[in-house]
Amino acid sequence: MKQRKRIYYSPQQKALIWDRYKQGDSLHDIARMFDRYHSSIMPTIYNTGGFRPPERKRHPTSLSLSEREEISRGLAANLSLREISRKLSRAPPTISREVKRSGGLEHYRANKADAAAWENTKRPKECMLKGNPDLCYVIAQKLKRAWSPQQISGWLKRTYANNQEMQVSHETIYKTLYIQTRGALKKELQKCLRTKRVVRKSRTTSLKGKGIGRINDAVSISERPAEVEDRAIPGHWEGDLIQGCNNTFIAALVERHSRYVMLAKVYDNKTATVISALIKQAHKLPAELYKTLTWDRGSEMTNHKDFTLATDIQIYLCDPKSPWQRGSNENTNRLLRQYFPKGSDLSVHNQQKLSQVARQLNERPRKTLNYESPAERFNQCVASIS
């Protein structure tokens, strides 16, 4: 089998690659446009950590290639530098400096001079974190505690409000992690990110929702009290099952007002098991802080009436294929996947471990809470009813 020649992508082709990547296309789909395998696309994307390099542009006042060719023709015709400058409507010193730094009167070549000028315009800006080891240390410690770059950035602005040198945007943290040529944060810290990715993914890349079953006598989310929607009043919860391999599960609950998380160990997804675990969790909280529960239409909610009878808490079920109706819960599940990756065996985690994970999540600052932690916000709710 004859080996295909190595392909070198032109700037236009690279621009198309980045456009398709940002639209959420896979590397395989992009590579098929060029009749190649995804490995030929990877260097373009991975060399900059999934961040599209800024497009380089010439300064409006810089000499163009056509002007340099005109200079070369003028020199070949033995025209003086002043005559050439008049033809180009340029200042004589501009032409003089151009010729002097690019070979002189006898060795000036337009293409060579243009390439050298384009190369000399590179001005790599030093990463702001590189010259600030104290800030790098703080960021590294927070990453090791499983804080996201956005949480770190918000916490820094809140903690060091009067010290600009100790503040940084979350995008700068991401870029410094993914673009290792910046040399400020170690590559090993990428593993502290929740996704553990080594390259930035497009925001338009998403997963499709799953179908949801039927539940008898279900109370629709459309009947949920209006006070639940604005999150102003605490005590309204969302819940779901996180699934691992071998039919292992964890019940995850999040309070809408404070984003406070509780995790419950369940041994299977049978309705009796799940309802029993939810009843046990509900009895840990005062009635003022547990008023409603919103769940999806999974079969584990078949006995939802038993829960309401035991706790006097009404369960509202989402519409089919509408995960956004439990937005807080869906976001929390994504955060929990950092600790419980898809395909892992969840039965190995006891309730103590689940409580430790929940505590760590509850102690993280959240952007939606103005960088307060869920624990701080929830404790305020507890204090207000005592």
The reply to whether 247 and 306 lie within a common domain is yes
In a domain, 126, yes or no: no
DSSP string, 226-273: GGGTT--SS-EEEEEEEE-GGG-EEEEEEETTT--EEEEEESS--HHH
The reply to whether 154 and 29 lie within a common domain is no
In a domain, 209, yes or no: no
Calculate the alpha carbon distances from 268 to 169, 214, 252, 354 in Å: 42, 19, 14, 16
Tens of pLDDT along the chain (386 residues) come to 456 677 888 888 898 988 888 888 888 888 888 888 888 888 888 888 888 887 778 888 889 889 999 999 999 889 999 999 998 999 999 999 999 998 888 889 989 998 888 888 776 667 778 778 899 999 999 999 989 999 999 999 999 999 988 999 998 898 888 876 666 788 788 888 887 777 877 766 643 443 334 677 888 888 898 888 888 899 999 999 999 888 899 999 999 999 999 999 999 999 999 999 999 999 999 889 999 999 988 889 999 999 999 999 999 998 877 878 888 999 999 999 999 998 899 999 999 999 999 999 999 999 999 999 999 999 999 988 86
* Domain containing residue 274: CATH number: 3.30.420.10
The reply to whether 115 and 143 lie within a common domain is no
In a domain, 214, yes or no: no
- The pair of structure tokens assigned to 178 is 């993914």
The reply to whether 79 and 171 lie within a common domain is no
In a domain, 154, yes or no: yes
The reply to whether 240 and 116 lie within a common domain is no
User: Parallel, antiparallel, or unpaired for β 261-266 and 292-295?
Assistant: unpaired
- Domains contained in the chain, number: 4
Tell me the C-alpha distance between 245 and 195, whole Å.
19
**What one-character DSSP code corresponds to residue 379?**
H
The reply to whether 116 and 81 lie within a common domain is yes
The reply to whether 115 and 152 lie within a common domain is no
The reply to whether 261 and 302 lie within a common domain is yes
Tell me the C-alpha distance between 33 and 266, whole Å.
47
In a domain, 210, yes or no: no
In a domain, 6, yes or no: no
Decide: 335 and 361 in contact? Cβ < 8 Å.
yes
The reply to whether 235 and 366 lie within a common domain is yes
Residue 201: CB atoms within 10 A of its CB come to 12
Last residue of one domain, picked from the residues 120, 144, 166: 120
The reply to whether 276 and 345 lie within a common domain is yes
Indicate the pTM of the whole model: 0.52
- The pair of structure tokens assigned to 279 is 């009843």
The reply to whether 113 and 233 lie within a common domain is no
Decide: 214 and 302 in contact? Cβ < 8 Å.
no
Tell me the C-alpha distance between 25 and 29, whole Å.
6
In a domain, 252, yes or no: yes
Domain limits at 181? Answer: 133-192
- The pair of structure tokens assigned to 250 is 């964890």
Cβ-proximal residues to 277 (8 Å cutoff; 6+ apart), any chain: 251, 264, 265, 266
The reply to whether 186 and 331 lie within a common domain is no
Decide: 28 and 38 in contact? Cβ < 8 Å.
yes
82 alpha carbon, distance to own chain's centre: 56
In a domain, 198, yes or no: no
Calculate the alpha carbon distances from 193 to 170, 177, 201, 337 in Å: 12, 10, 13, 11
